[in-house]
């Protein structure tokens, strides 16, 4: 097939960082076919929606967007509309029944098939479904990086944890680790291309290598990536307390390029509730991990995920969560009201918590956490931190931002002396609940 002329694609991504990484590989294939990117769906010859189904509200949003594109299909029957990702894996052929104007439904294990499916669709009309799960998800796929200095690097796919509230294992499949040498090669290539910061991606990065059964683990990967010249920072997400070991904490502490930010989702401070969630650890074990982390990484910035109103949660259980929050003192917490997810065990559990109780608990939880976040950020006032410049803030081009190793956003007034990708020390003048305000130390700046 010859390369296309003046053909455009519009790519819409929902959900997590894994989906963002997958979208880069979809974009790479489309550009290999000769398509160029547009943000205007009205101008597109291919519209690809890479979807999330962690919450049913996310699915509703996707279904609404699919409906919006029906008139475009009626206007241009050559338009190709594709739904990919987790929702595609879950719904499969049901999506065609719901939206007959769709052309392609591509599941989480079939990213590499996009080129063939596009060619097939252009040669003949009709639907194409690719949702088989063969276990191998790491193919050599062209990638179109969306950022210049920051790159996603997938290290594994799938999840074996089966938390009772989560749909991920059913749509991403079992844990499959990518060979260590392939990851190292990709990171080395990224360094050669000028990338400064990478993020190692997996549903549970602490489970990396366990399927190899040869002793390879996440620690070994960190030590290997640490040796690559040119990379300044190594981030990773997301961790799981069940598979986080003291040896992994040691590796994080010993690797100078690995960031001081640790996102370790606890979900609840009640051991009884954690058992109902099938999390695989107790609140006591979690606190032991945190104690060891703080001992080995004194300047660690800790963040977490918390769910309120899980089925059977009592006021005493909720108080256990508040106690844990006050004991750990997270820099930030992502807080969620539990909502039943069809297809998960928790959705059919008894003792569902009334909505008004869940909302009240979330309010109280956020009030405690916001107070802690503000205190943590105010403790950073007067100190200097190295950041990699990311560019102007969303709403004000005169103010630029970057992030500390601990993933804290610092905003400063731009004087035109810096460029995106520069590495620069920034002095923190004011700590706020969500961000830090400061100024650059230009006389000490070392421009990358």
Q: Any known ligand binding at 10?
A: no
Q: Any known ligand binding at 255?
A: no
- Least Cα distance to 336 among 171, 83, 163 occurs for 163
Residue 78: phi, psi to the nearest 5? -80, -10
> Tokens representing 209?
């290598």
Residue with tokens 């961000």: 435
Cα 317 to Cα 35, 357, 403, 421: the distances in Å are 53, 13, 35, 45
**DSSP letters of 55-112?**
SHHHHHHHHHHHHHTHHHHHH-TT-EEEEEEHHHHHHTTHHHHH-TT--EEE-TT-GG
Task: Give the sign of the dihedral formed by CA 214, CA 218, CA 222, CA 228.
Answer: positive
| Contact (Cβ atoms closer than 8 angstroms) between residue 173 and residue 210 | no
Q: Would you give the DSSP letter of residue 447? A: -
Query: In sequence order, what are the residues at sequence separation of 6 or more whose Cβ sits closer than 8 angstroms to the Cβ of residue 349?
Result: 164, 276, 311, 312
| Contact (Cβ atoms closer than 8 angstroms) between residue 388 and residue 422 | yes
- Least Cα distance to 180 among 151, 140, 209 occurs for 209
Give the span between the Cα atoms of 217 and 226, in whole angstroms. Answer: 15
Q: Any known ligand binding at 376?
A: no
Give Cα 340 distance to the centre of its chain: 22
- Least Cα distance to 267 among 286, 248, 252, 249 occurs for 286
**Where are the alpha helices (H) located in 246-378, listed in sequence order?**
246-254, 271-277, 283-296, 315-328, 355-378
How many CB atoms are located within 10 Å of the residue 298 CB?
9
What's the N-to-C CA distance of the chain in angstroms?
A: 42
Cα 117 to Cα 134, 137, 141, 157: the distances in Å are 18, 17, 15, 23
3-state secondary structure of 345: helix
Is residue 149 exposed (0-12), middle (13-18) or buried (19+ Cβ within 10 Å)?
buried
Residue ranges at the known binding site for [4Fe-4S] cluster: 16, 52, 86, 159, 163, 166
Q: Pick out the residues of the known binding site.
A: 16, 52, 86, 159, 163, 166
């Amino acid at each position: 097939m010859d390369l296309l002329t003046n053909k455009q694609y519009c790519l819409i991504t929902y959900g997590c960082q894994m989906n963002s990484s997958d979208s880069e590989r979809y974009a790479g294939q489309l550009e290999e076919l000769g398509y160029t990117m547009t943000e205007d769906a009205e101008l597109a010859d291919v519209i690809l929606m890479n979807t999330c189904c962690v919450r049913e509200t996310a699915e509703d949003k996707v279904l609404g967007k699919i409906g919006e594109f029906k008139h475009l299909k009626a206007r241009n029957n050559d338009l190709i509309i594709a739904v990919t990702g987790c929702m595609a894996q879950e719904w499969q052929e049901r999506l065609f029944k719901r939206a007959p104007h769709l052309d392609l439904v591509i599941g989480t294990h079939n990213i590499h098939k996009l080129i063939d499916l596009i060619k097939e669709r252009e040669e003949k009309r009709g639907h194409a479904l690719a949702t088989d799960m063969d276990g191998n998800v790491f193919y050599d796929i062209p990638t179109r990086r969306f950022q210049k200095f920051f790159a996603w690097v997938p290290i594994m796919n799938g999840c074996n944890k089966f938390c009772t509230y989560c749909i991920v294992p059913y749509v991403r499949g079992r844990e499959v680790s990518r060979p260590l040498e392939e990851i190292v090669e990709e990171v080395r290539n990224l360094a050669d291309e000028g990338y400064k910061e990478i993020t190692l991606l997996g549903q549970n990065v602490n489970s990396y290598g366990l399927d190899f059964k040869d002793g390879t683990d996440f620690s070994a990967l960190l030590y290997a990536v640490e040796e690559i010249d040119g990379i300044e920072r190594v981030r990773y997400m997301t961790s799981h307390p069940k598979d986080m070991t003291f040896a992994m904490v040691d590796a994080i502490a010993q690797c100078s390029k690995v960031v001081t930010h640790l996102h370790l989702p606890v979900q609840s401070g009640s051991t009884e509730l954690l058992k109902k969630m099938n999390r695989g650890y107790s609140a006591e074990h979690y606190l032991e991990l945190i104690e060891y982390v703080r001992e080995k990484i004194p300047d660690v910035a800790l963040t977490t995920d918390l769910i309120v109103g899980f089925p059977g949660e009592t006021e005493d259980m909720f108080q256990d969560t508040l106690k844990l929050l006050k004991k750990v003192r997270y820099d930030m917490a992502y807080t969620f009201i539990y909502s039943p997810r069809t297809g998960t065990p928790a959705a059919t559990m008894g003792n569902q918590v009334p909505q008004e109780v869940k909302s009240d608990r979330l309010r109280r939880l956020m009030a405690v956490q916001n107070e802690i976040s503000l205190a943590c950020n105010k403790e950073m006032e007067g100190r200097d931190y190295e950041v990699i410049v990311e560019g102007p803030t969303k709403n004000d081009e005169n103010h630029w931002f970057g992030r500390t190793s601990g993933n804290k956003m610092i905003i400063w007034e731009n004087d035109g002396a810096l460029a995106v990708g520069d590495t620069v020390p920034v002095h923190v003048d004011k700590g706020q609940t969500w961000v830090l305000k400061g100024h650059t130390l230009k006389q000490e700046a070392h421009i990358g």
